[in-house]
Amino acid sequence: MAEDEKPQRWLVTPGEVITEERLRLGPGVYVQDGKIVAKVLGLAEIKNGMARVVPLEGNYVPKQGDTVVGIVVDVKIPGYDVDINSPYKAFLPRDQIRDALEYGDVVVATVRFVDEVKNSVLENARKLEGGQLIYIASPRVPRVIGKNASMITNIKNLTGSKVIVGANGRIWIKGGHSDIARDAIYKIEREAHTHGLTDRIAEFIRDRVAEEEGNSESDSHGEESKEE
Amino acid sequence: MAKKAKKNDIRSDGRGFDELREIRIQAGVLDQADGSARVDWGITMKRIAVSEKVFKKAESLKEQYYIIPRGKEGGNYVVDVPAKLLDKIGDEFGNYKVVGEHFKGNIAIVAVHGPREPIPRHVADPYRAVLRFRYTMAPFSVPERKRPAPGRREVEISKVSREALQGVIFANEYPMTAIDVFAELLSADAGTRVTAITAASVALADAGIPMRDLVAAVAVGRAYGHLVADLTKFEEDAPDAVDLPLAVVPRTEELTLVQMDGRISRKDLDELIELGIKKAKEISALQRQALKEKYQRVVGNEQ
């Protein structure tokens, strides 16, 4: 639990009073009659004089500076329309990517600009080849990354996979024990609201990796060398 | 107006006069929806086997109580009686034998999709999300087959339900989108609109939509000379019936839906609204519990 989070995090539903104190307002709260009230389903937290609710559900809304994993849905002369798993459209100008893209290509990019109706322009894109693409609820992405990227570093080191996490809930995994990395991420998504997750996930991955390597040793050595 | 309705001492289904039916709420029941909820809202009926003489008597008791004499089934005369009523007036049925038990009431399943791209696109509002609510009843939800096409009643209920929820949603956070709510009634026994609204606010919260509060809805009214909470179909058909569905924002006690059938004095109306708010707060607690249970289930499995 130590580095994961403080125990003063609790599950709230919309309309529940978080505190009657005057504090700074974080995301997920509103003020009524001088009380700070939750407006989304999530985990309430009071830290450094700020009250906020970390949501557990909800669709992705693009924010400037976010890293997103998108899928090309249209090719136009000035650039590409990219689906970013959101109700809003994203556009990737042609000069922001080296490769020529086709319909269905997967890219990772940064959100450069979001307009007043939340349509966005992307920059610094890179095409992702091969691997697998999984989806999780976008509000739980911060748990997959962890504090100072502790969780994701753990996953990468223990499984040897390349992992790219989009803030929009799309995650690209390639190489190493990629199926274990996938299962670990799904496990984080399911248990995003619980304590002590980093340790539990590390244990989960170690067990699975040991199991798989044990199996491949007894089965055939060819399999194992392919994995290395 | 038939003012001379018989005044029962016991409620027609054995409940207390301000007692709700049994309400069970589950959040997150559908995989494909962004948010979903199921609400079962009704009474337990016991099926009892009785003698022919008692059965004849039951035929006359059904004027007064919510009992359903079913006729001869498998060599026995069978009557459906609410479990709570059976506890209170069991003596009336002489030597009866319980042969079965079933649920009688409303079942609503609500799916929320969105915020998502509004189709058709011209309904989009650049300042806020548009909320759309579709209330439908299954053809098998009522005793006579209900034609599946939405009629005046469904259109009206969809409209008032949408308006009951619209005010609590922070729609300005999702411009140019639509939030679609689909409420499907699988079983109906009076108070379906309040069941749908109660389920819909749980489903909206489950979809992660920002809201001021969870709207809780309940019907209050008058039947057989008493002011009652949560009427059954039997009570709605009483000669002096008043049916007053309310949707309440429990924290601020605002009313977002008030409709009424029947005539009532101002004094009784005030009393009913107060009762409705009190009952809505009970329902609100069940809604919150349902949402939290969804997550506690996960913890329970893993630790």
Both B128 and B257 in a single domain?
yes
Both B79 and B110 in a single domain?
no
Contact A194 B302 (CB under 8 A): yes
Among residues A128, A156, A176, the one where a domain terminates is: A128
Q: Which residues of B139-156 are buried (b: 16+ CB within 10 A; e: fewer)?
A: eebeeeebeeeeeeebee
Residue A26 belongs to domain with CATH number: 2.40.50.100
Residue A82 belongs to domain with CATH number: 2.40.50.140
Residue A187 structure tokens = 């496990």
> Range with the lowest mean pLDDT among A90-99, B173-182, B277-286, B288-297?
B288-297
Q: Is B129 a residue whose pLDDT tops 50?
A: yes
Domain range enclosing A86: 67-128
Q: Strand A90-93 relative to strand A120-128: parallel, antiparallel, unpaired?
A: parallel
HEC string for B52-64: HHHHHHHHHHCCC
Domain count, chain A: 3
Among residues A128, A160, A178, the one where a domain terminates is: A128
Q: Are B255 and B248 in contact (CB under 8 A)?
A: yes
Q: Is A224 a residue whose pLDDT tops 50?
A: no
Both B72 and B218 in a single domain?
no
Nearest CA among B235, B80, B95, B249 for reference residue B163: B249
Chain B residues 211-230 with a CB less than 8 Å from chain A: 211-214
A136 lies in some domain = yes
Q: Is B52 a residue whose pLDDT tops 70?
A: yes
Distances (CA, A) of B69 to B44, B89, B234: 16, 16, 14
C-alpha distance across the termini of chain B, in Å = 62
Distances (CA, A) of B89 to B78, B92, B105, B106, B227: 17, 6, 21, 25, 21
Both B57 and B147 in a single domain?
no
Q: Strand A50-55 relative to strand B130-137: parallel, antiparallel, unpaired?
A: unpaired
Q: Is A212 helix (H, G, I), strand (E, B) or coil?
A: helix
Distances (CA, A) of A98 to A95, A126, A130, B157: 7, 7, 18, 54
Write down the pLDDT at residue B2. 47
Both B204 and B244 in a single domain?
yes
Among residues A104, A128, A152, the one where a domain terminates is: A128
What are residue A55's phi and psi, to 5 degrees? Answer: -70, 160
Q: Is A228 a residue whose pLDDT tops 70?
A: no
Domain count, chain B: 2
Chain A residues 73-132 with a CB less than 8 Å from chain B: 87-88, 116-118
Residues near B158 by beta carbon (within 8 Å), at least 6 away in sequence = B133, B134, B135, B150
Nearest CA among B212, B114, B227 for reference residue B164: B212
What are residue A27's phi and psi, to 5 degrees? Answer: -70, 155
Both A144 and A212 in a single domain?
yes
Write down the pLDDT at residue B74. 81
Both B62 and B197 in a single domain?
no
Residue with tokens 């079965």: B100
Both A120 and A88 in a single domain?
yes
Both A98 and A162 in a single domain?
no
Which residue of chain A is at minimal alpha-carbon distance from B172?
Answer: A117
B1 lies in some domain = no
A3 lies in some domain = no
At B232-263, the pLDDT tens digits run 999 999 999 999 999 999 999 999 999 999 99
Q: Which of A39, A41, A194 sits opposite B212 (nearest CB)?
A: A39
Q: Which of A35, A59, A168, A186 to mutate to test the interface with B (most CBs of B within 10 A)?
A: A59
Q: Are A29 and A36 in contact (CB under 8 A)?
A: yes
Contact B205 A41 (CB under 8 A): yes
Both B249 and B190 in a single domain?
yes
Contact A14 B214 (CB under 8 A): yes
Both A141 and A182 in a single domain?
yes
Q: Are A9 and A43 in contact (CB under 8 A)?
A: yes
Write down the pLDDT at residue A193. 87
Both B133 and B226 in a single domain?
yes
Q: Are A88 and A120 in contact (CB under 8 A)?
A: yes
Both B225 and B190 in a single domain?
yes
Residues near A134 by beta carbon (within 8 Å), at least 6 away in sequence = A170, A171, A173, A182, A185, A186
Both B131 and B164 in a single domain?
yes
Chain A residues 129-188 with a CB less than 8 Å from chain B: 137, 139
Which residue of chain B is at minimal alpha-carbon distance from A204?
Answer: B302
Q: Is B223 a residue whose pLDDT tops 80?
A: yes
Among residues B57, B74, B102, the one where a domain terminates is: B102
At B258-291, the pLDDT tens digits run 999 999 999 999 999 999 999 999 999 999 999 9
